[in-house]
Structure 1
Amino acid sequence: MLELDKIHCGDNCDLLGQLPRECIDLVVTSPPYDDLRTYGGHSWDFFGVAWQLKRVLKPGGVIVWVVADATKDGSETGSSMEQALHFKRLGLNLHDTMIYRKANYTPLTHNRYEQEWEYCFVFSAGKPRVFAPKKTPCTYAGQKTWGEPNMYKDNSGNLTRVKQTVINDDKIAGNVFTYEVGSRKTGDIAHPAMFPFALARDHIATWSNPGDLVLDPFSGSGTTAKAAKELGRRFLGFEINPEYCAIAERRIAQQVLELEAV
């Protein structure tokens, strides 16, 4: 087993191969996709990574896979959905197709509406073991539900009276998460991929418990690892670029480098 609470520098398939089966509670990651992100010329094996993630994920574990599509020759590639379907073919559930919305997206001024969101695919090995959802206030909290009590047929065809109820103070949030996106530099190195700290934090809080092991196989500047540590989880980060490994280690050790990227 690799040393925990550490960023390991190397090829993620090789590092994943060193993990035992069913040892990871949660994966939160955003891999390089299409030609939208460049990482110093490094390449990666999607099919190898997907197979290894399925192998190391515990029953009830969750993978949060943040991706988007490039537009080539006037058409979106569709690679995001192809990846999602491949994870299903491996035997994982596509538990939820969430949206990561950028409140301050960058305008590209082309002949289509501006791209302001990315997929957050939530895959699970069976039913998720943990679900501690974000909550949002109910607009009409404390009021009675609309309409008068009525008689309805239940699933068996029997008449049943539905009573008015009082609306709760809050409800489970919708599956579109909106964040401000920023770009910051640490020293002379700026990471190209915007990944808000709050996005990692919210998914870790939703799909894992304190003490669980959280993995990011595309660790970048260590945002997932930093969020996991702050929330009392164990973590593993894999990153092939030594410069990003160094940034991540400093962020995790000092917790003062507020680079909003991974």
Structure 2
Amino acid sequence: MEDLKNKIFCGDVLEELKKIPDQSIDLVVTSPPYNLKNSTGNGMKDGRGGKWANAELINGYKHHSDNMPHEEYVEWQRNCLTEMMRVLKDDGAIFYNHKWRVQNGLMQDRQDIVQGFPVRQIIIWRRKGGFNFNPGYFLPTYEVIYMITKPKFKLAKGANSHGDVWDIGQAKGIDHPAPFPIELVERIISSSDGKLILDPFMGSGSSAIAAKKLGRDYVGIEISPEYCEYAEKRIAEESSQLEIAL
């Protein structure tokens, strides 16, 4: 595992996950692509962009179109979760961030992805703000974090005093279409005693930065070489700031 610590591996998520030994990871914190361009409710599916017309996500992620047939997307995410469970220690947990949405007029709550996995709790991440051009439902202002646990998982001392609704704003000024706020990841990691943190959808590097700030080690996986390079740059900058502070 020493060869894996504090590195981001650039490649296909399932192929890279299979290289990680069984029961070697303490905590998984991740937010996968949401398959937004296959969504009927935001105008992306037909290419117009809808409320996202000026957003970078209209073009998808770098090296990932974010436009898979729904059944294929579900199978992919379930395979990813299965691998995450394999590499997780018996006292570990997965914090799996996703978003519910209305599809064809009905709620899509991601049960088709997480069904059968040991979900212990759902945390509401209230992001604040947003836009809603659909007169059929209220403005969505939150995402969900599924806490999927192994049997022996326990929170760090005092962490159970947090409620299950977290008011944390969205990340700003990050060169990525859907960055994880560092504050959110810090809340998750600091709520665990885990020393080795895995993010198999590393993106802009927020999970690694949060781990470093809390004195933990990380392992990252990211398919895009551009995002890998950007994440490494952010991590290096944050490490320099930490050294200056010390």
**What TM-score do the two structures reach when normalised by structure 1?**
0.73
Q: CA deviation at 1:254?
A: 1.7
Amino acid at match of 1:243: E
Q: Distance in 2 between matches of 1:205 and 1:244?
A: 25
Q: Deviations over 1:124-169 (max 9, x none)?
A: 110314433447xxxxxxxxxxxxxxxxxxxxxxxxxxxxxxxxxx
Indicate the residue corresponding to 2:44 in structure 1.
Answer: none
Indicate the residue corresponding to 2:62 in structure 1.
Answer: 40
Q: Label 1:257 to 1:219 Cα distance change in 2 as closer, same or farther (>3 A).
A: farther
> Do residues 192 (structure 1) and 177 (structure 2) align?
yes
Indicate the residue corresponding to 1:132 in structure 2.
Answer: 157
Q: Distance in 1 between matches of 2:203 and 2:179?
A: 11
Indicate the residue corresponding to 1:217 in structure 2.
Answer: 200
Please, which runs of 5 or more residues in structure 1 have no aligned partner?
136-171
Indicate the residue corresponding to 1:108 in structure 2.
Answer: 132
Q: Distance in 2 between matches of 1:97 and 1:182?
A: 21
Q: Distance in 2 between matches of 1:101 and 1:224?
A: 19
Amino acid at match of 1:12: V
Match of 2:219 among 236, 239, 248: 236
Does the aligned pair in 2 maintain the 1:59–1:125 contact within 8 Å? yes
Q: CA deviation at 1:41?
A: 5.0
Q: Distance in 2 between matches of 1:61 and 1:132?
A: 15
Q: CA deviation at 1:64?
A: 0.2
> Do residues 183 (structure 1) and 168 (structure 2) align?
no
Does the aligned pair in 2 maintain the 1:29–1:219 contact within 8 Å? yes
Q: Label 1:225 to 1:29 Cα distance change in 2 as closer, same or farther (>3 A).
A: same
Mapping of residues 28-177 of structure 1, within 5 Å:
28-35=29-36, 38-40=60-62, 42=64, 45-78=76-109, 80-86=110-116, 88=117, 93-103=118-128, 105-111=129-135, 112-134=137-159, 172-177=161-166
Structure richer in helix, relative to its length? 2
Structure richer in strand, relative to its length? 1
Q: CA deviation at 1:174?
A: 1.1
Q: Distance in 2 between matches of 1:54 and 1:3?
A: 18
Q: Distance in 2 between matches of 1:81 and 1:133?
A: 30
- If you compute each CA radius of gyration, which structure gives the higher value, 1 or 2? 1
Q: Label 1:246 to 1:97 Cα distance change in 2 as closer, same or farther (>3 A).
A: same
Amino acid at match of 1:49: C
Indicate the residue corresponding to 2:45 in structure 1.
Answer: none
Runs of 4+ in 1 over 3 A off after TM superposition: 132-135
Amino acid at match of 2:172: S
Does the aligned pair in 2 maintain the 1:22–1:56 contact within 8 Å? yes
SS of equivalent to 1:207: coil
Does the aligned pair in 2 maintain the 1:251–1:257 contact within 8 Å? no
Q: Distance in 2 between matches of 1:257 and 1:29?
A: 25
Does the aligned pair in 1 maintain the 2:10–2:224 contact within 8 Å? yes
Q: Label 1:257 to 1:217 Cα distance change in 2 as closer, same or farther (>3 A).
A: farther
Does the aligned pair in 2 maintain the 1:60–1:129 contact within 8 Å? yes
Q: Label 1:95 to 1:12 Cα distance change in 2 as closer, same or farther (>3 A).
A: same
Q: What value does the CA root-mean-square deviation take over the aligned residues? A: 2.2
SS of equivalent to 2:36: coil
What number of residue pairs does the alignment pair up? 209
Q: CA deviation at 1:215?
A: 0.3
Does the aligned pair in 2 maintain the 1:64–1:123 contact within 8 Å? yes
Q: Distance in 1 between matches of 2:63 and 2:104?
A: 23
SS of equivalent to 2:86: helix
